[in-house]
Amino acid sequence: MKITDFFALLGGLALFLYGMQMMSAGMEAAAGNRMKQILERLTANRFLGVAVGAGITAVIQSSSATTVMVVGFVNSGMMTLRQAVWIIMGANIGTTITGQLIALDAGMIAPLIAFAGVVMVVFLKKPKLHHIGSILAGLGVLFIGMDMMSAAMMPLRESEGFISLMTRFDNPFLGILAGMVFTAIIQSSSASVGILQALAGSGIIPFSSAVYVLFGQNIGTCITALLASIGTNRNAKRTTIIHLSFNIIGTVIFTAVTLLFPLAGFVEQLTPGNPPAQIANMHTMFNLATTALLLPFGSYLARFAERILPDKEGTPDKHGLLYLNTSAAGQIGALAISLEQVKKESDRMLELARQNVFESFEAFRKRDASMLAPIEERETEIDYLNKELSNYISRALAKELNVAESQKLSSHFKIIGNIERIGDHAMNIGGYARMLEKKAVKFSKEEKTEIKEMQNVCGNMLDDLRISERDGLEDLTQIAATEQRIDDMTVRYRNRMLGRMRKGDCSEEGCILYSEMLTDFERIGDHALNISQELTHTQMQTGW
């Protein structure tokens, strides 16, 4: 094999992978949040769940993308572990569509398909047509890359060393290991199966050896889901165990059947003289048969995963992200679930801010600096969440192609900024408590009543402002009314304070700190209204 053939092989692989990425990105941009909604709503019935998983995966050309989405759903609590079983089974069926497309040998018209897609992207203005163009261009590039790889590997038929290496895959263990490792490295079973089809089509590896490599590729594809589960909760990690168990069980069964019965010969006779089609048919048969065998035992797979990874004793560490898996930000399909995870993290962030506001008013009213330690600890957590969520949204916006999804992500960027500011105002109020204690300032009964009323109004307002559970315009009306009440209270209480100053009923230090506290009180209302307006505007524009 010449160096130019090696470069051509790398170029073909690059085009193949890039074509797949173009197809997936175009489909995600066209479908937007609908993939998430379909997966979320149609998983109660096992047969429907399998069908949905297969359909979504066939469309986006990546079982890894579907599995990453499922891991995110389970991590955010939107899907149970047992619902995830059916989607994973369906994803394994849907991923075989790429091999079947390659087996059709559309290389002759691949340049035409790619040209049509590029024309749509370059010359048409509608975003939907752009996305369809990306899908077509990706499909054409995929086939072109496939043809390049096949042509580059032709000289290997004359290489005794390479042929000797390929014949070693007659050993089931070596074949499975090779397929598993290679697929784990490139993180795409579709790509590795495509390369195997190119090898077989060039006559370099016999079908009898290729079947074992193919079985190993089904195990190697689990690496993407395993990586996506890093930093997630235990149920999400169990989802990857189910995915891995499914493919290992299928590999064991099919390896035994292939060794004991002439399965390879039977599949070979279905499409004689067409190794790529033979591999595609075996791949489809593997996943259909494994799904049929394991479908009645889906609940047992979930129980097995729970036994392998039991619940930890005690509570999880408070510091850190509980719902959002930032390591999956670059994975195809991750954006379909990121919004739900971001909403849950934002709700958690808002609850920390609500607690701080309530307890800061309490510390101010009682002039008790000893109450500030848990407030400061929560403020540290709020700042951490603000930084992590902001970074995640910035990276997600750089990859998101769908306009509606981009609007939602942009809105949440503003929302978490307002939550962080509410936390800062709570810290200001808490800081005044320390100064009040130091200066031994005392409040009258009237002032204590006013502070208590401000505390209750802010607490109720933030308690009503649930990011994940909203009723649209009704929420905005309620929050707006409360914000106006806060403005009125601020004016009224500041006038009363001035009256007390004229009468000499409060100290100079006490009046200054009380006035500063009123400013923070008013700003908390402003930021809460900003959050409500942002959520409602997004809901009206995108149906969030």
pLDDT tens per residue, the chain (544 residues)? 578 877 887 887 788 778 767 776 776 666 555 555 655 555 557 788 888 888 877 766 667 667 767 776 776 566 777 788 888 888 888 878 777 777 766 556 778 888 998 898 888 878 778 888 888 888 788 778 767 776 776 676 666 665 666 666 778 888 888 888 888 876 667 777 878 887 787 777 888 888 888 898 888 888 767 776 766 677 778 888 888 899 899 999 999 998 888 888 898 888 888 888 888 899 999 989 999 998 888 888 888 988 888 866 544 444 567 777 655 554 544 555 677 778 888 888 999 999 999 999 999 888 888 888 889 888 988 988 888 888 888 877 776 556 667 777 788 888 999 999 999 999 999 888 888 888 787 778 888 899 999 999 998 888 888 765 554 455 567 888 899 999 999 999 999 888 888 887 777 888 888 899 999 999 999 999 998 888 777 665 555 4
DSSP category for residue 194: H
**CATH architecture of structural domain 337-542:** Up-down Bundle (1.20)
Task: Kindly write down the DSSP assignment for every residue of 79-131, as one continuous string.
Answer: S-HHHHHHHHHHHHHHTTHHHHHHHT-GGGTHHHHHHHHHHHHHH---HHHHH
pLDDT on residue 43: 56
pLDDT on residue 136: 84
- Residues 32 and 25: their CA atoms lie apart, in Å, by 10
Question: What global pTM score does this model have?
Answer: 0.57
Q: What's the angle, vertex CA 291, arms to CA 52 and CA 91, rounded to 5? A: 35
| Phi, psi (deg, nearest 5) at residue 383 | -65, -40
pLDDT on residue 333: 46
In this structure, are residues 516 and 428 in contact, taking their beta carbons and an 8 Å threshold? Answer: yes
Q: At what angle do helices 234-260 and 298-308 cross, to 10 degrees?
A: 120
Instruction: Give the torsion through C-alpha atoms of 105, 109, 110, 114, to 10 deg.
Output: -160
The residue ranges of every structural domain in the chain are 3-308, 337-542
Return the structure tokens found at 292: 């049929």
- Residues 197 and 18: their CA atoms lie apart, in Å, by 18
- Which helix (H) or strand (E) segment holds residue 272: the answer is none
pLDDT on residue 27: 65
Q: At what angle do helices 207-220 and 275-294 cross, to 10 degrees?
A: 50
The count of other CB atoms within 10 Å of the CB of residue 182 is: 17
Residues 6+ apart with CB under 8 A from 467: 343, 346, 347, 350, 415, 531, 535
92: nearest Cα among 54, 39, 42, 46: 54
